[in-house]
Structure 1
Amino acid sequence: MLILVVGLVIFFVLHSIRLVAPQWRETSMARHGAMRWKMRFGMVTLIATAFIVMGYMQVRLEPVWLWFPPVWSRHLAGLLVLVALFFVGSALVPNTTMKNKVGYPMLIAVKLWAFAHLISNGTLADLIIFGSFLVWSIVSFAVYRRRDRKAGVVYKTSEESTVPTNLIAFVFAMVSWFAIVFYLHQAIIGVSPLV
């Protein structure tokens, strides 16, 4: 459990820098260079993610069950993850409708992903991982939107986005979903979502 908690703490501290100290982040990027900052950020994120996965693998050997999710929750989770992947695609592809309308589609993707895994898993480790991601994404989204309102940020209308960009986000979601469901989830986590 310790490795899991350490990984989560590192991940959330790192990903909350922009949330709690945006000026420090911008100053550090200007001082050290954006590329160097992103490389360090990426490396620490990979380490934190590895800790989370390793910790989860260890905790799964002796699970502490809090509830037993019904079978239908897995089907709903699969659908929610597909929608979450569309939001990921919308965040990665420039000028998509979702990015233009909500501003932070990646945080919406995290919310959906975390909620989907919370309803379809019932162990203490699942509650710790997915509950913390859900809370973090809700708080982050609220803070960023409040900052945008104070700064007078105006979100674009959907007419400004293009069909090809939205189509790319959709194709990304479908390809990613099939890859995760039929291969990656089993290969990385050790559990098939189809079972």
Structure 2
Amino acid sequence: MGWTEFILAMVAFLGSHMVPSRPGLRGALVARLGRAGYGAAFGLLSLVLLIWVIAAAGRAPFVPLWDQAIWMRWLANLAMPVALLLVALALGAANPLSFGGRASGFDPARPGVAGLVRHPLLWALLIWSGVHLVVNGDLAHVILFGLFAGFSALGMLAIDARNRRLWGAGAWAELSRGTSNLPFAGDWRGWRPEWWRIGLAIVVWAVLWHLHEPVIGVSPQP
């Protein structure tokens, strides 16, 4: 199907990720499925659509834009553990300022992972898409990872604007005072992440490293 399948997959993936930014629709789904059910269903849908869009990019017509260099592979291999660590630190942590976190237990004076960076999952997506954009120099993958990078960067601004509108400027300023959209610019000093999250990131990295070639068809080794 060439470009048609790729376009359909991109529209489906990006469209599905508009759900968390729509409080009415998200609330209706949570009410019907429960918070845990909604999280599991949305996570599974995102994974399926992500696999589809990556596979569709591989099946799209190959239009080379630049050649791959060895330093590009090293960049990806050094950046991916950072992205996975951000995911492990963020999922289910107290952070009402971004998606993937929970509202309960959040203390603006000790913002935890939100003090490291306000939107850790979006930063993980930005890192992942950015390094894969560099290492894949054909048109379909440049479009794919370029859209992911833009989606994650603009998503941070969109979520901040939505929260400021919903909570009011005063409440937003109070809750976000120890956080920043820039890594390490917030109040993260003294924060000690759970060791199990770091261990989880290492395990997931090892699994993805070994599955990358049989699933994606390309070895991540430099």
TM-superposition CA deviations, 1:84-108 (whole Å, max 9, x none): 1111111125358433443321100
Cα offset, 1:50, TM superposition? 3.8
The CA distance in 1 between the partners of 2:177 and 2:68, in whole Å, is 39
For residue 213 of structure 2, what is the aligned residue in structure 1?
186
The CA distance in 1 between the partners of 2:177 and 2:79, in whole Å, is 25
SS at match of 2:176: coil
Bigger helix fraction = 1
**Pairing 1:131–2:153 present:** no
**Pairing 1:154–2:176 present:** yes
Cα offset, 1:162, TM superposition? 3.2
Cα offset, 1:40, TM superposition? 4.5
TM-score of the superposition, structure 2-length normalised? 0.73
TM-superposition CA deviations, 1:95-138 (whole Å, max 9, x none): 58433443321100000000010111101111121111101000
Unmatched 5+ stretches in structure 1: none
Q: CA, structure 1 residues 43+179, in 2 after alignment: closer, same or farther (shift >3 Å)?
A: closer
The CA distance in 1 between the partners of 2:39 and 2:12, in whole Å, is 16
Larger displacement relative to structure 2 (107-116 or 146-155)? 146-155
Q: CA, structure 1 residues 170+40, in 2 after alignment: closer, same or farther (shift >3 Å)?
A: closer
Unmatched 5+ stretches in structure 2: 95-110, 179-186
Cα offset, 1:23, TM superposition? 3.0
Please give the root-mean-square deviation of Cα atoms over the aligned residues, in Å.
2.6
Q: 2:196 aligns with which of 145, 155, 168?
A: 168
Q: 1:116 aligns with which of 123, 126, 131?
A: 131
**% identical aligned pairs:** 29
TM-superposition CA deviations, 1:4-61 (whole Å, max 9, x none): 2212211111112222x223322443355445544553454344234213313323xx
